[in-house]
Every structure is written in structure tokens, then in C-alpha cells.
Amino acid sequence: MTDPSRQLAETIRVAGASVLATLTRTFGSLQLAEDAVQEAALAALRTWPASGIPDDPRAWLLVTARNKAYDIIRRESARPAKEAFASDYHQVGPDTAEEALSMLEPDSAVRDDMLRLIFTCCHPALAPEARVALSLRTLAGLDVAAIARAFGVPEPTMAKRLVRARRKIATARIPYRVPDDAELPERLPAVLSVVYLIATEAHSPSSGDVVTRIDYEQEAIRLARLLCELMPGEPEILGLLALLLFSFARRPARTGPDGSEPVLLRDQDRSRWDHEMIAEACSLLAEAVRRSSGVAGPYQLQAHLSACHSTAASWEDTDWSRIVALYELLLMMTGGAAVLLNWAIALGEAEGPGAMLTALDRIAGLEASHLWHAARADALHKLGRGEEAAAALRTAIDLAPTAPERHMLTRRLAQ
Amino acid sequence: MALYAALVYLPANEYWTDQPEQVHRPSDGYEVFAAEAGAAGVLQGGQGLYPPEMATTITVSGGKGGDVIVTDGPYAEAKEVLGGYFLLEAADLDEATKWASQIPASWTGGKVELRPIVPMQE
């Protein structure tokens, strides 16, 4: 963050998202607001290096973007009628200085605009991948090329996905508003899953320009912190932020010395974990428990699971029976083969390899998963069934999707 | 305000397939919905449809005025069939959703699909 050009870009990105939120409300069009903010950001990049970052960057961007929006509307209305009809832009009133002043609103209004934007981008009427893409574009202020790279799709594909999402918001009239308390339980999970997917599904390419590389885990943490600020005391948000922090705190130990090969939790050097961050996550989780009146949501449960690992001195010292119980609760809530697999592995630690193998063999539908075969190999090896273990491990190697995972499994086979 | 077509899909096996000739009598739930949505000024129209067995499919080959091909029924067996539609006028998708969730098909094994209506061009 010491690099001044990087700090500049970061300021524009963060302030830009909240300007976008306000303009979307005042103009009634997400597309127009995005175009205007984009132009204002370019103007800031041109002028700020010489003039310095203004005292109130958000106000500067807001006034500039607002004027850009009026410019765009004037350009649009000068175009032939047929094209104007195709435009999603709403008609707006005249440009007055008074109006510009009235847009510089108190913090509470900025907060509400940001929430509106979040709930619009994460509306359940949008496809999950569209929600994630739109949130990265509007809330995190990333450009289309970066989002496309993160999800391994060509840039035109991602651009089309974003256009389709914005068109649906305009055409189907997805409202720009914060759900009321009665609706919140139905609407919040969609928002949380977007943040979770950004942390877990988006990947920065390991090669490429360091300056343009984006840390998606940190981006998700930033969004979760923003949600905590906007909706203080919401237990599932606290649970999600705790979960993300527990995971991020392990990052220094998650890969080997060359930075690519994954290191299993069991083998991680726990002194390299960020223990300050783990302490913060623990207190967030405690806060979530206090506020959830005994009813834990799925993110809080996952955070509890993560806490068990993060606070254990070693793999062997981990409270495995608590982990088994937590997985069983999670299974009742969400189900899913991945949860079953982790439950079986935890059961192995709590009750031994026999119980683990029985549990693994009862899970249907994971025959194509290298993780399932690797877990079976582990159980078979501990039961002294070496040949079967080696065969299972070889199947796992064949099925492993990435080279680092194949390497890791191959080394295990050699042992 | 925006207009939406609430397309009502019903499970094919629970539709009128047993007695296709019988005139459809909507359940009380539909009357309740129509009365409430009508009173709220949301309901702008709607019709029930006879089942797919009563359908005739028409295509014209070779451009307008070409050979008219008439076939019986829909093309494929579907698990759910379109049973009718309501025309709803609502402020936004959330309001339309609130009303669509009052249509019995949405909780009796069918579903309701909300489609915004293309406005007429002046």
C-alpha cells in the first residue's frame, strides 16, 4: 500500500462503489451510474496525481460522476429515436447547483445506498454467477477483464454476463431497495453466498503482472467487513467474516516453500498462522453466538468448525468429537457430498480408520472425486491394507484436477 | 408500474389429463387469489387453458403463405405444462413476486413464472 499510484487506484475503487450506489438511486439506472462512475474514475486518475487526492474523494467523484451522467444522457437523447428507446436510462431533471449540494448526504444515506446496491446485485432473481460477477464489478469496483480472469472465462463472455444481468435488473424491474426485516432472512443468504464465493471460487492467476493481480480472499473479507458495518450485529454476517478470517489466517502455511504446492491442514506449520487474526475471528464468532439466540446458521457452524482447527495446538490435539458433531449439524442444514466427506474424515480421527472407511463407502456419488479416493486410501493404509490403499491413491492421482495436487498425491504414494 | 405475465405451470400428471374433455373448474384458491389481487388493482386479466391434449400445433413451412402443417398436441412430453396465466401490474419484481406467491400452483407442486411484458411501442 506504500505505492502511491496503487493507493490512488484503491481510493478511487472504494469511493467509487459508494458513488455508484448513490447515483443508481438518483438516476434509477445501474448502467448509467456505472458508465458515469467509470468516466469519473478516469478523470480522477488523470488529475489526482498532479493535484493530490482531494480531502473528500467521495464528494469529488460524486459531483464529477453526476455531471458525466448528465453528459451521457444528453448524448443519448441526441441519438435517433429508435436507439433512444432501447436505452434503459430514465429521464432526469435539469442540472442545478442546488441539486449537486443536496447529493452530499449524511453518512446514513450513503450507508443505505450501499445496502440497496448490495441487495440489488445479489437479488435471487439473478443467476448466482451473475450475482458474483455484478458484485465484483459494482461493489468491489473491479474491471471486466479482472473478473473474467478470476473465473477463467474469456472477457467477452464475462462482459455479456454483466450486460445480461443489468438488462434483467432494468427489464424485470428488480427494485433498488433494502429488504425489510421480514424479508431479510430470505434475502441475506444470497448476499452472503456471493461474498463466500468470491473468497473460495475466484482465483488470481499465479503468473502475470503483480500490479493488476487481485487478492480475492481479501476482497471478500473487505465486503464482509462492510456488511458488518452496514448491518451490525447480524449473526450470520459475523459468522461469515469469522470464517473468512480463520481461513485467511492460515494462508502463510497453506502452500509449500515454492508457493504452489498445497500443504494439508494436518501438515501445516501452525506457528506460521496469523494468531492475531485468529483471535479477532474468535471474538467475532463469540459475538455471533451471543446474538443468534441459540440458532446457528450455516456460516456460523462452518466458523465453529474452523475455530476448532485454528485454536488447536496440533492436528492430534484437535477436538475431533466436537468437529464430528458440528459436521452432523451442518449436514442436517445443508447436506452435500463435500460436507459428508469431511464428516467421514473427522470421524476417522475421532473413532478410528474402520469407522472412517465405513462412512466413506456409504457416501454415494463421489466416485469421480480425487478427495474421496485419497481419503479412502488414507483409511485403508491405516488399516494395514496397503495394496488397496495404493490402488485408491493411484485412482486419486488420475482424477486430481491440478498439477500441484497430483504432485502431492504422488509423493504420498511413494511413502 | 410494470406489467408481468404470471405463467401458471401445473404438474402434467395432476392436470386434467384423466378427463381432458371436462371443463376446468379452478380450485377455491384461485378464486381467493383473483379476488384479492383484483381488489388491490394488481390483476389486469388472465385465462385458464385446456390441457395439452386439446392443443393443436401449427407451423408454416417455406415462409409466409407456405404449407400449413397441423399436428396434434405439443411436441414433447413435459413434466409441467402451462395451465393458464394472470396479467399482473406491480411496482417492481418484489411486489409481483409477493402476488405470484399467492397463486396456488406455486405451493401445490406446480410453479409460477413471472415474465415482464414488452411495452407496446407508440
Interface of B with A in 68-87 (CB under 8 A): none
Q: How do beta strands B67-72 and B56-61 pair?
A: antiparallel
Residue B4: count of CB within 10 angstroms of its CB:
27
Q: What is the SS3 assignment for B86?
A: strand
Per DSSP, A401 falls in state S
Pick the residue with more confidence: A8 or A288? A288
- Arithmetic mean of pLDDT over chain A: 86
Tens of pLDDT, residue by residue over A184-209, are 888 899 899 889 988 887 765 544 44
Domain ranges of chain A: 321-415
- Chain A residue whose CA is closest to B120: A85
> Which amino acid, A294?
G
Q: What residues of chain B lie within 8 A of the CB of A174, using their CB? A: 92-94
CA distance A91 to chain B (A): 15
pLDDT value of residue A205: 53
Q: What residues of chain B lie within 8 A of the CB of A183, using their CB? A: 94
Mean pLDDT of A215-242: 92
Within an 8 Å CB–CB cutoff, is residue B14 touching chain A? no
Q: Top-level CATH class of A321-415?
A: mainly alpha
The residues facing A388 across adjacent strands are none
Which of B92, B97, B112, B122 to probe by mutation at the A interface, max A CB count within 10 Å? B92
Distances B86 to A41, A59, B4 between C-alpha atoms, Å: 45, 46, 8
A123·B93 Cβ contact <8 A: yes
Least confident of A177-181, A278-282, A410-414, B18-22: B18-22
pLDDT value of residue A400: 85
Mean pLDDT of A391-399: 92
pLDDT value of residue A249: 95
CA distance B99 to chain A (A): 15
% of chain A with per-residue pLDDT over 90 = 52
% of chain A with per-residue pLDDT over 70 = 89
CA distance B17 to chain A (A): 32
B114·A172 Cβ contact <8 A: yes
Tens of pLDDT, residue by residue over A82-96, are 444 444 444 444 344
Domain ranges of chain B: 2-18+27-52+78-116
Within an 8 Å CB–CB cutoff, is residue A357 touching chain B? no
Tens of pLDDT, residue by residue over B36-71, are 999 999 999 999 888 888 888 899 999 899 999 888
pTM of the predicted model, to two decimals? 0.79
A173·B116 Cβ contact <8 A: yes
User: Is the distance from CB of A399 to CB of A368 less than 8 angstroms?
Assistant: yes
Residues B71/B72/B74/B76 CA torsion (nearest 10 deg): -90
Model confidence band, residue A214 (pLDDT cutoffs 50, 70, 90): low
Within an 8 Å CB–CB cutoff, is residue A177 touching chain B? yes
Q: What residues of chain B lie within 8 A of the CB of A125, using their CB? A: 93, 97
Surface-to-core class of residue A299, CB atoms within 10 Å of its CB (0-12 exposed, 13-18 middle, 19+ buried): buried
Q: Residue A47 is placed in which grid cell?
A: 488529475
Q: What residues of chain B lie within 8 A of the CB of A85, using their CB? A: 121
A174·B93 Cβ contact <8 A: yes
B93·A85 Cβ contact <8 A: no
Residues of chain B with pLDDT under 50: 17, 23
Within an 8 Å CB–CB cutoff, is residue A145 touching chain B? no
Q: What residues of chain B lie within 8 A of the CB of A119, using their CB? A: none
Tens of pLDDT, residue by residue over A298-320, are 999 999 999 999 999 999 999 99
Within an 8 Å CB–CB cutoff, is residue A175 touching chain B? yes
Mean pLDDT of A275-296: 93
A175·B114 Cβ contact <8 A: no
pLDDT value of residue A210: 43
Distances A379 to A96, A315, A336, A344 between C-alpha atoms, Å: 73, 16, 21, 10
Within an 8 Å CB–CB cutoff, is residue B122 touching chain A? no
A171·B93 Cβ contact <8 A: no
Within an 8 Å CB–CB cutoff, is residue B93 touching chain A? yes
B93·A172 Cβ contact <8 A: yes
Within an 8 Å CB–CB cutoff, is residue B36 touching chain A? no
Spatial strand order in the sheet of B80-90: B43-48, B80-90, B2-11, B111-116
pLDDT value of residue A85: 43
C-alpha span between B9 and A389 (Å, rounded): 51
pLDDT value of residue A330: 92
Within an 8 Å CB–CB cutoff, is residue A174 touching chain B? yes
Within an 8 Å CB–CB cutoff, is residue B92 touching chain A? yes
Q: What residues of chain B lie within 8 A of the CB of A175, using their CB? A: 91-95
B116·A171 Cβ contact <8 A: yes
A173·B93 Cβ contact <8 A: yes
pLDDT value of residue A199: 87
> Thinking of the domain B2-18+27-52+78-116, which architecture would CATH place it in?
2-Layer Sandwich (3.30)
Within an 8 Å CB–CB cutoff, is residue A156 touching chain B? no
Residue B112: count of CB within 10 angstroms of its CB:
22
